[in-house]
A = this chain, B = another copy of it.
């Protein structure tokens, strides 16, 4: 396999370049077959590179960028005014083919807007989707999309999400014929709004997809489906609600630390478990959330990501690049649409 190149936005994220650079150093050490293009302030990046050996340094290119997209900046403003930003440069490297994938922990809205503008969607895909995998009891991965990239979805968009999610589950998790389900308020045919009902018809009429029908909200965390499809409005609210509940449970358990000896003991053991669950369902924490449906690979790492989490996002970008996920989506959507004619 020829050497892959990954572009990294060094300036994004709440904790700034030090945390990102720590992850990048680890990636350079471990992914010895990968070239890295580091976009950001050269004066910040260079000191971190001095610790690398000659072989490692040879696998790194620094792209000096004058600008940074701020975390609170309006996406349209970033698109218009931050043409020299590290985020934009990383995306441009994917656009030009110089990089096979890019990763940013910066402003999600700006990344979505810039990526959509620069990379465009694949033929047959109307809108990109943000997708991440959810925890389940059996520890198999359920891919949930859209998590908020697109709050106005047509039935056709939902159908395209199903195709995209199916490809991701197959390529990343190695699941043959991933089970694709539509999120709805009930499993019966009569349930749901018009958008979901028509999407159900589109799925039923399509061949080449393992569509299993409707699932309800609680099935996101079970082994019922490999891919759960919903619009970005519902997906975002479902995930944020779960985040809120997880926070509440942690809060209640913490209260126990002020109680009896056994309660304190319990809380000490329970908290890491609960925090682990919390981190996995926190939509702002999901790391390596893929922006799917574009003509290039873009991974969104959370702004508040730790070095480990950003490292994981880099691994994920590499895996998607190796599996050529966009090409596979393009091919799958062509097949499915062609068979519908």
**15 additional contacts (CB under 8 A) given A148-B185, A218-B247, A234-B234:** A217-B238, A219-B244, A221-B244, A221-B247, A222-B244, A237-B238, A242-B242, A242-B244, A245-B281, A249-B274, A252-B277, A256-B269, A256-B273, A262-B265, A265-B266
* Number of residues on chain A facing chain B (CB within 8 A): 55
Interface string of A166-198 (1 = CB under 8 A from B): 000000000000000001110000111110100
Q: In this complex, which of A190, A196, A221 has the most chain B Cβ atoms within 10 angstroms of its Cβ?
A: A221
Once the chains bind, are B242 and A241 in contact (CB under 8 Å)? yes
Chain B residues contacting A234 (CB-CB under 8 Å) are 233-234, 237-238
What are 27 A-B pairs at a CB distance below 8 A?
A137-B252, A151-B185, A183-B237, A185-B237, A216-B236, A217-B238, A217-B240, A217-B243, A218-B240, A218-B241, A218-B243, A218-B247, A220-B244, A221-B241, A221-B245, A221-B248, A230-B237, A234-B237, A238-B238, A238-B241, A242-B244, A245-B246, A245-B277, A245-B281, A256-B269, A262-B269, A265-B265
Chain B residues contacting A270 (CB-CB under 8 Å) are 253, 266, 270
Chain B residues contacting A263 (CB-CB under 8 Å) are 269
Once the chains bind, are A252 and B273 in contact (CB under 8 Å)? yes
Tell yes or no: A15 within 8 A of B by CB: no
Once the chains bind, are A277 and B262 in contact (CB under 8 Å)? no
Residue of B at shortest CB range from A231? B193
Once the chains bind, are B217 and A237 in contact (CB under 8 Å)? yes
Residue of B at shortest CB range from A263? B269
Tell yes or no: A106 within 8 A of B by CB: no
Tell yes or no: A44 within 8 A of B by CB: no
Tell yes or no: A239 within 8 A of B by CB: yes
Distance, CA A221 to CA B250, complexed state (A) = 12
Distance, CA A190 to CA B265, complexed state (A) = 46
Distance, CA A40 to CA B231, complexed state (A) = 43
Chain B residues contacting A135 (CB-CB under 8 Å) are 248
Distance, CA A233 to CA B242, complexed state (A) = 16
